[in-house]
Structure 1
Amino acid sequence: MDAEAVVGTRLASQQLRSPLAASAEDALKNLLAVQAQEYPYACWSLGQRTAGATADDVGQAVAEGRILRTHLLRPTWHFVHRTDLPWLRALSAPRVHQANAATYRRTGIDAAAAARSDGVLAAAVAGGRHLSREQLASELQHAGFAASGLALAYFIMHAELNGVIVSGAPVRSASGALRQTYAAFGERVGPAATTPLPKDESLAALAARYFHSRGPATVKDCADWSGMTMADVRLGLALALEDNPAALESTEIDGVPFYFGPELAQPSSPGFPAGDEADPAGRIDLIQCYDEYVMGYSASRGYLGGKGPVFPYNGDPMHVILLDGRMAGAWRHRILRSGSPGQRCELDVRIWQDKTQSAGLDDAVARYGAFLGMPTTY
Structure 2
Amino acid sequence: MTTLDSRALNRATLARQLLLERADLPVVEAVSHLCGLQAQEPQEPFVGLWSRLRGFQPAALDELLTGRRVVRTHLMRRTIHLVTAGDVLAWRSRHDAMLRQRVLGVYRRELDGVDPGGVAAAARAELARDEPRTMADIGRALAGRWPSAGPRPLGELAIAALVPTVQVPPRGLWRAKAGVRNARLSSWLGCDVDPLPEDGADPIGQALTRRYLAAFGPATGADLRAWSGLAGLPAAVAAIRDELVAFRDEHGRELLDLPDAPRPDPGTLAPVRFLPAFDNAILGYQDRSRIIDDAHRNLSVAGERVVLVDGRVAATWTVGADTVTITPLRRFTRAERTAVDEEARHLTAFLTDAVRTS
TM-score range (shorter-chain normalised) is 0.7 to 0.9
The count of aligned residue pairs is 344
Instruction: Assess if the C-alpha contact under 8 Å between 1:317 and 1:331 holds in 2.
Output: no
1:304 counterpart residue number: 291
Call closer, same or farther: CA 1:137–1:60 in 2, change over 3 Å: farther
The amino acid that maps onto 2:249 is I
The within-5 A match list for 1:269-308 is 283-299=271-287, 301-306=288-293, 308=295
Preserved CA contact (<8 Å) 2:132 2:182: yes
- Residue 309 of structure 1, CA deviation: 1.7
Change (3 A) 1:156 1:52: farther
Of residues 290, 294, 306, the one that matches 1:320 is 306
Match of 1:373 in 2: 353
The answer on whether the counterparts of 1:45 and 1:288 sit within 8 Å (CA) in structure 2 is: yes
- Give 1:233's aligned residue: 233
Secondary structure at the residue paired with 1:27? helix
**Does the C-alpha gap of structure 1 residues 311 and 42 become closer, same or farther in structure 2, counting only changes over 3 Å?**
farther
1:267-297 Cα offsets, whole Å, 9 max, x none, are 245765xxxxxxxxx6211112411111011
**CA–CA distance in structure 2, aligned partners of residues 176 and 256 of structure 1:** 44
Q: Which residue of 2 aligns with 1:82?
A: 85
Percent of aligned pairs with the same amino acid: 21
- The one-letter amino acid paired with 2:246 is S
User: Contact 1:35–1:77 (CA<8 Å) still a contact in 2?
Assistant: yes
CA deviation after TM superposition for structure 1 residue 2, in Å: 2.8
* Deviation, structure 1 residue 326: 0.6
TM-score (norm 1): 0.78
- Could you tell me the TM-score, scaled by structure 2's length? 0.82
Identify the structure with bigger relative contact order (alpha carbons < 8 Å, sequence gap 6+): 2
Query: Which stretches in structure 2 are left out of the alignment for 5+ residues?
Result: none
Establish whether residue 59 from structure 1 lines up as the match of residue 66 from structure 2.
no
> Gapped runs of 5+ residues in structure 1?
273-281, 337-344
The residue type paired with residue 185 of structure 1 is: L
More strand by share: 1
Point out the more displaced range, 193-202 or 179-188. Answer: 193-202
Corresponding residue for residue 105 of structure 2: 102
Structure 2 CA distance for partners of 1:124 and 1:59, relative to 1, 3 Å: farther
Per the TM alignment, residue 186 of structure 1 is displaced from its structure 2 partner at its CA by 0.5
| Aligned-pair CA distance for 1:236 | 1.6
Query: Is 1:347 aligned to 2:324, yes or no?
Result: yes
AA matched with 2:218? P
Please, which moves more after superposition, 157-166 or 86-95?
157-166
1:55·1:372 contact (CA, 8 Å) conserved in 2? no
Which secondary structure does the structure 2 equivalent of 1:331 belong to? strand
Q: 1:373 to 1:110 in 2, by over 3 A?
A: farther
Runs of 4+ with >6 A deviation: none
TM-superposition CA deviations, 1:142-177 (whole Å, max 9, x none) = 7775897xx42652453343344222222599x961
Once the two structures are TM-superposed, the CA of residue 365 in structure 1 deviates from its matched residue by 4.0
SS in 1 for 2:248: strand
